Amino acid sequence: MVSEFDTIKDPKDIAFYAGLILTSLSICQTFSVMYWGRLSDKIGRRPVLLMGLFGDTVTILLFGFSKSYKWALITRCLNGICVGNSPVAKSAVAEMSDDTNRPRMMALLPLSWNFGTVFGAAIGGMLANPVDKYPLIFGNSVIFKEFPYLLPCLVSSCLTLTCLIVGIFKFEETLVINKQTVTPAAGRQQSSSTTEATPLLRQEEENVIVAQQQKQPVVTLGQLLTPTVVHIFITNSLMSISTTMSDQLLPIFAATDPSEGGLGFDTRQIGYTFFVSGFAVLYLQLVAYPRWAQKYGTLMCYKYGLVIMTPYFILVPFLSILAATITSSVMSQSIPESVNKFASDNADNAAAANEEEHED
């Protein structure tokens, strides 16, 4: 998509500008996540999640209408602000569960996220530029010819809109605010001897009201950052950096020409790549990982996962050499065929000319 913008002059700059669009979402999400969390503590989880779904539906659809780099960057930033409420979903899951089922319910969140990330990327790659890919279906579509990346964004918006509708009718508020109510003291009887000087409330009832009006202590950010939290924050941040770099760079790397250090895939081939990897992710998370975690432990699985990822990050760039070799091999095979065809056509033309001359 970025390669088709007029502002991109040098093909080598595509990776930078595409990475900037991808990064803009994460930056806006990071700066808005705290505000969404505080707002959910005040008005509840349900309205915050519904507002985020509505904003996501609108902004991703606007992103599909991008015809300039500036429009794509702005709509992507707006989308990042709207999806900054995703941690609120974790709070909602924690509040609707208990100690008996909370670990299993929390495990569904990363599973659903990975499922959506992989298959969403696959759908996006397969539906991008539908006029050229599926001419029998979209060949006469004016809008998809004008906006070749609108269809995957439209599908994404429809899915999010479905979630919004389900949330409106099915999702119930999970934030419970304990409110004490003042009830008349037991045994209190109204008497006709009360005057204007008689207190309307007894002392114990006044104490209850004063306790309600007292503000809850505010926990500062410094109090939250305990040594354990800092340790988890650093390790998770480093892990997120490596995996996010891989996820975001892989489509750019795959779309880049082999002569420029990429694989030379089109959007459909990139989509197929994510589609195949999606089944691998589902198998690992649903079948393989539970068995390994039970046999070797969670910490050991985490360590071995890091060991496996290290050579993966090192070897992936060298796939470009393999792609360049395959491309050159295909070109070398196609050139002789074209030469032979050209020579055969010339021979046929010469024979026909000789025959006509002989007849004359």
Percent of the chain with pLDDT over 70: 79
Name the token pair of 102: 């909370």
CA-based nearest residue to 240, from 156, 309, 317: 309
Q: Is the pLDDT of residue 76 over 90?
A: yes
Instruction: Specify the higher pLDDT residue, 20 or 225.
Output: 20
Instruction: Specify the higher pLDDT residue, 352 or 31.
Output: 31
Which one-letter DSSP state was computed for residue 185?
Answer: P
CA-based nearest residue to 62, from 147, 159, 175: 147
What number of CA atoms fall less than 13 Å from residue 210's CA on the CB side?
A: 7
Instruction: Specify the higher pLDDT residue, 107 or 70.
Output: 70
pLDDT digits (tens, 9 = 90+) for 310-350: 888 888 888 888 888 877 776 666 555 544 554 555 555 55
According to the model, what pLDDT value does residue 157 have? 94
How far the first Cα of the chain sits from its last, in Å, is 61
Q: Which of 55-64, 134-143, 234-243 has the lowest mean pLDDT?
A: 234-243
pLDDT digits (tens, 9 = 90+) for 170-196: 998 888 765 444 344 444 444 445 444
- Cβ within 8 Å of residue 129, ≥6 positions away: 148, 149, 267
- The mean pLDDT value for 93-119 works out to 79
Which one-letter DSSP state was computed for residue 123?
Answer: H
pLDDT digits (tens, 9 = 90+) for 253-283: 888 888 778 888 888 888 888 878 777 877 8
- In this prediction the pTM is 0.65
- The mean pLDDT value for 103-125 works out to 79
Are the beta carbons of 49 and 85 closer than 8 angstroms?
Answer: yes
Residue 114 three-state SS: helix
CA-based angle 16:21:25, to the nearest 5?
140
